[in-house]
């Protein structure tokens, strides 16, 4: 997708946030997620091969002056790697806005070193099941919800394309941009991620294709100090080998229904 078009779409989503009425809740850091999207390249191709892992390792590096994100190095890419780079950029910007110092140990914990599912920050973000939602609930970084009416541009979103959770799921890690009805009255969902086959970019999908949606919103960047102490999350590690239930998912992500 054309980079200018991606920037325009992200900027439009920012406008939707900033132009919200006073009666509508405006998340405090979602604009930073959308800003991070505007720094991402377009296209580059989609793949889940080891080459994409190697690219993501090169893209997220820790130097003398902190974490550096170089997304052009992570091409081709896949969905969770794309949203992870946006998450790191937004988290750093949220800490700066809130005048929170991000300790070196936190920065180190965010580096992708091919941690397996359930291990560390990346191993949660990249896991089957509600990886991002579990990370946000476990550390206190944010809130999770399922209600589409609460979604705002810049929320992270785990899409489930089928009814399964875990071993047999078909999932997609994205950033929510917008939702609107088409001429037939059917809801269409605008998302950003690394999408098949083109890679980085925005895409519109019918909401009817989404069997389950778990939204995660960054609300408390100060909780990043909890990241270095994360151990193995056995539930997410097990999602490679077994199916999970919706009741289990909700209990472990703070969702209530």
- Say if residues 213 and 160 touch (Cβ distance below 8 Å): yes
Q: What is the 8-class DSSP label of residue 166? A: B
Is 256 domain-assigned? Answer: no
**From CA 8, how far away is CA 11, in angstroms rounded?**
5
Is 251 domain-assigned? Answer: no
Is 197 domain-assigned? Answer: yes
- Closest to 156 measured CA to CA, from 87, 252, 207: 87
pLDDT confidence of 150, banded at 50, 70, 90?
very high
Is 225 domain-assigned? Answer: yes
Angle between the N-to-C axes of helices 3-18 and 30-38, in degrees from 0 to 180, rounded to the nearest 10: 170
Most distant CA pair in the chain: distance in Å? 54
- Say if residues 247 and 130 touch (Cβ distance below 8 Å): no
- Say if residues 158 and 133 touch (Cβ distance below 8 Å): yes
pLDDT confidence of 123, banded at 50, 70, 90?
very high
Q: How many domains does the chain have?
A: 1
Residue 135 has pLDDT above 60, yes or no: yes
20's CB contacts (< 8 A; 6+ apart) are: 26
Q: What is the pTM of this model?
A: 0.90
Range of the domain at 190: 3-241
Percent of the chain with pLDDT over 70: 90
Residue 156 has pLDDT above 80, yes or no: yes
- Say if residues 168 and 160 touch (Cβ distance below 8 Å): no
- Say if residues 193 and 175 touch (Cβ distance below 8 Å): yes
Report the chain's mean pLDDT, rounded to a whole number: 92
Is 248 domain-assigned? Answer: no
Is 81 domain-assigned? Answer: yes
Give Cα separations from 88 to 84, 92, 153, 167, 248 (angstroms). 6, 6, 17, 27, 27
9's CB contacts (< 8 A; 6+ apart) are: 177, 190, 192, 202
φ, ψ for residue 247 (rounded to 5)? Answer: -65, -40
Q: Give the model's pLDDT for residue 26.
A: 80
Q: Give the model's pLDDT for residue 89.
A: 98
Per-residue pLDDT averaged across 74-95, rounded? 98
Is 36 domain-assigned? Answer: yes
Residue 126, by phi and psi: left (phi above 0), alpha (psi -120 to 50) or beta?
Answer: alpha
pLDDT confidence of 15, banded at 50, 70, 90?
very low
Q: Give the model's pLDDT for residue 257.
A: 54
Q: Give the model's pLDDT for residue 5.
A: 43
- Say if residues 148 and 179 touch (Cβ distance below 8 Å): yes
Q: What confidence tens digit (pLDDT) does each residue in 172-209 have?
A: 999 999 999 999 999 999 999 999 999 999 999 999 99
Q: What is the 8-class DSSP label of residue 3? A: H
Q: Give the model's pLDDT for residue 65.
A: 86
Is 184 domain-assigned? Answer: yes
Q: Give the model's pLDDT for residue 25.
A: 75
Strands (DSSP E) found in the chain: 43-44, 60-63, 66-69, 142-145, 156-160, 171-181, 187-195, 199-206, 212-218
């Amino acid at each position: 997708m054309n980079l200018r078009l991606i920037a325009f779409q992200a900027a439009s989503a920012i406008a939707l946030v900033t132009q919200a009425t006073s009666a509508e809740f405006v998340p405090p850091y979602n604009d930073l997620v959308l800003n991070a999207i505007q720094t991402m390249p377009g296209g580059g191709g989609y793949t889940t091969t080891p080459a994409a892992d190697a690219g993501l390792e090169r893209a997220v590096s820790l130097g003398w002056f902190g974490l550096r994100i170089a997304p052009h190095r992570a091409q081709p890419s896949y969905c969770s790697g794309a949203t992870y780079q946006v998450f790191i950029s937004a988290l750093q910007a949220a800490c700066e806005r809130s005048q929170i110092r991000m300790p070196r140990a936190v920065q180190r914990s965010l580096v992708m070193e091919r941690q397996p599912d359930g291990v560390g920050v990346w191993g949660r973000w990249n896991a089957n099941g509600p990886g991002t939602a579990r990370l946000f609930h476990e550390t206190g970084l944010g809130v999770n919800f399922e209600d589409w009416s609460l979604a705002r541009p810049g929320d992270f979103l785990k899409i489930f394309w089928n009814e399964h959770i875990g071993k047999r799921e078909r999932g997609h890690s994205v950033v929510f941009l917008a939702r609107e009805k088409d001429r037939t009255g059917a809801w269409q969902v605008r998302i950003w991620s690394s999408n098949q086959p083109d890679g980085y970019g925005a895409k519109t999908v019918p909401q009817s294709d989404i069997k389950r949606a778990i939204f995660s919103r960054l609300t408390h960047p100060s909780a990043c100090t909890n990241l270095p102490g994360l151990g193995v999350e056995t539930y997410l590690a097990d999602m490679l080998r077994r199916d999970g239930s919706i009741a289990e998912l909700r209990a472990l992500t703070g969702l209530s229904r």
